[in-house]
Structure 1
Amino acid sequence: MRYTLRQLEVFVAVARQESVSRAAEALSMSQSATSTALAELEKQFDTRLFDRYGKRLQLNELSRQLLPRAIELLDRAGQIESLLTGDTGIGPLSIGASLTIGNYLATLLVGDFMRQHPGCRVQMSVHNTATIVRQVAHLEVDVGLIEGDFQHPDLEVLPWIPDELVVFAAPGHPLAKLDSVSMDDLVAAPWILREAGSGTRQTFDYAMRHVASNLDIRLELEHTEAIKRAVESGLGIGCISRLALKEAFRRGSLVPLNVPGLDLQRMFHFVLHKQKFRTAGVEAFIALCRAVSQGVRRSDEIVLPGPDGQPVHYL
């Protein structure tokens, strides 16, 4: 072959970092060695892999096609090396989780995964759904856990478990005293909602699409805990996952509102890049997620055993 795995490793690092100096730091190489490896790869094939904008390097059309294949080859090479050295454990794993899943499910799932696979290194990022989708599309994480649904030509979306949003209020709110709440009541009330780009907001906007232009949206926040505090203080009503409200409902600090006919069902999904090699770690993590949700009707019913063998509820 006219290229080496080290050259591909440098290419992938530069593609992810968009900088030779940052790639060198990530690879623990000198900047000159990193720059030389990239230059030799381009020279051997008489091609350019990046468009240069000052010190910033941006993928061109060829390198965008090359990147997922290079990552797959490096992942497979890593597995071969593990077999040759007798290391049959799970390799490193990077996970991206949208905010509701990340804050209320993924941390405990990762904890259980690491107990089952001692020595495995896991990196997890928690952002809104749009950001996680972008990270998976750019091959920055191995697997994403997201809320809602979407379409992307480079990504595969696999259903995981049903979830449900719920409209809620503080116990002293006038709507909390009603047996059922009408759509007119919702239009008249001030709202505290998740930001645009989140899976929660996507589901809410679709459910309320016929009256969306009439809603009184007072505040948009990125974090569900902040929304809960704002609603508790009487600033308005909200709509987030029942998963995030389980403990608040149990304590009585917040109460669900009954809105007949309002469909707030959705799914949690796994999202993977179609061209990225699925390592043993990715397969094992998805298998764990499916195992703990087997027979469960909705996300807020998931329970995991803790270190002492006793059930650990996610909220």
Structure 2
Amino acid sequence: MHIETLKTFCDLVETGSFSEAGRLNFVSQSAVSQQLRALERRFDRKLIERRQGRPAVPTEAGRLLYTESKAILEQLRALDQKLRQSAEIMAGTLRVATVYSVGLHALPPFVKQFLRAHPQVNVRVEYVRTDGVYAACLDGTIDLGIVAQPLRRRQIEVIPLRPEVLVVVCSPEHPLARRREVPLARLAGEPFVAFDRGVPTRRVVDRLLKQHGASVQIVTEFDNIETIKRSVEAGLGVSILPENSVKNEVKLRTLVAISPSEGPLTRSVGIIVRKGRERSPTARAFIELLTAGMGG
């Protein structure tokens, strides 16, 4: 027995007409008769008095079925309305995974703005290595990830954000600190504090240095951008980092950011989500906020 059959039966009782009940449910008059016979077989009761040329009238059993069916249909209507409303409600926890070099500096203003607009939402940001962001995205433990140099994979959808500008970074005591611009070739032979080889930004920096003939002397490698900055502040060497990640240090004069004379050099940044996964209203709203504020 289908819900549609109960709906047709209720319309038949209310209109007293097989043809009208069929019209209301987009079926033929004979189909209404077939559905009625199926109900009568199902309940082993006569449900409608069929009188030639006169309106169809429910029997006592028919009136009982009509009353209960109307209640069921009303419950389904209310449930449908609640489900539709819940699809637009933003609540619960939004789970985001990102890497330190992106999330630690670019993300907080947007999280603050989002929470101010949606105080009923809890935003949980987890900082992991890049491969951990992809893994969490694929296994569904996060709603979205934000990474540098996003890779398009078979099960991953990438939503591009604005590329981040890269700058040469050194301590205020370094000879380069007095320069406003510096060619990357000038870094040849310089002690260099690098990202670990597994970090996507490392591949970007290595490629840029190679393109401009700068063979640097890597003295230490880290997977955490904060550790890199502390090492450069301590005078261990120079580095190439996203400009927005060193704004505070430049303001405090613990680091100096120098623009490459080759022009703006960038790394790509993007949101990653699992393909085919339905996004919650909360996730959709946060993605819209990020693309509006950080969109390319």
Q: Tell me the TM-score normalized by structure 1.
A: 0.61
The answer to whether structure 1 residue 284 and structure 2 residue 269 are counterparts is no
Letter in 1 for 2:90: I
CA distance in 1, matches of 2:231, 2:140: 36
Does the CA contact (< 8 Å) of 1:128 and 1:199 recur in 2?
Answer: no
Segments of structure 2 that go 5 or more residues without pairing to the other structure are 1-78
Residues 1-315 of structure 1 aligned to structure 2 (within 5 Å):
83-84=82-83, 89-91=89-91, 92-178=93-179, 180-210=181-211, 214-261=215-262, 264-293=265-294
- Give deviations 1:179-225, integer Å, cap 9, x for gaps: 65344431210111222232322321221234789431111122222
CA distance in 2, matches of 1:180, 1:109: 31
- Give deviations 1:128-154, integer Å, cap 9, x for gaps: 333212221232211111112323111
Return the offset for 1:272.
0.8
Return the offset for 1:157.
0.7
CA distance in 2, matches of 1:214, 1:81: 65
**Larger deviation: 269-278 or 128-137?**
128-137
Letter in 2 for 1:226: T
Q: 1:123 to 1:259 in 2, by over 3 A?
A: closer
CA distance in 2, matches of 1:212, 1:201: 16
Equivalent residue number for residue 56 of structure 2:
none
Does the CA contact (< 8 Å) of 1:166 and 1:239 recur in 2?
Answer: yes
3-state SS of 1:244 partner? helix
Q: 1:247 to 1:160 in 2, by over 3 A?
A: same
CA distance in 1, matches of 2:239, 2:284: 36
CA distance in 1, matches of 2:218, 2:80: 55
Equivalent residue number for residue 57 of structure 2:
none
CA distance in 2, matches of 1:101, 1:189: 26
Q: 1:188 to 1:154 in 2, by over 3 A?
A: same
**Larger deviation: 236-245 or 284-293?**
284-293
For the pair shown, the structure with the greater C-alpha radius of gyration is 2
Does the CA contact (< 8 Å) of 1:168 and 1:254 recur in 2?
Answer: yes
CA distance in 2, matches of 1:291, 1:259: 28
Q: 1:82 to 1:114 in 2, by over 3 A?
A: farther
3-state SS of 2:132 partner? helix
Letter in 1 for 2:225: T
Q: 1:258 to 1:117 in 2, by over 3 A?
A: closer
Q: 1:82 to 1:292 in 2, by over 3 A?
A: farther
Does the CA contact (< 8 Å) of 2:171 and 2:233 recur in 1?
Answer: yes
**Larger deviation: 241-250 or 208-217?**
208-217
3-state SS of 1:188 partner? coil
Return the offset for 1:162.
2.3
Q: Tell me the TM-score normalized by structure 2.
A: 0.64
Segments of structure 1 that go 5 or more residues without pairing to the other structure are 1-79, 298-315
CA distance in 2, matches of 1:158, 1:135: 17
Return the offset for 1:271.
0.7
Does the CA contact (< 8 Å) of 2:185 and 2:213 recur in 1?
Answer: no
Return the offset for 1:116.
1.4
**Larger deviation: 193-202 or 176-185?**
176-185
3-state SS of 1:118 partner? coil
- What RMSD in Å do the two structures reach over aligned CA positions? 2.7
Return the offset for 1:245.
0.9
CA distance in 1, matches of 2:204, 2:135: 19
Return the offset for 1:290.
2.5
Q: 1:82 to 1:245 in 2, by over 3 A?
A: farther
3-state SS of 1:276 partner? coil
- Give deviations 1:226-274, integer Å, cap 9, x for gaps: 2112111111001111011112222322112343226621232111111
CA distance in 2, matches of 1:113, 1:207: 36
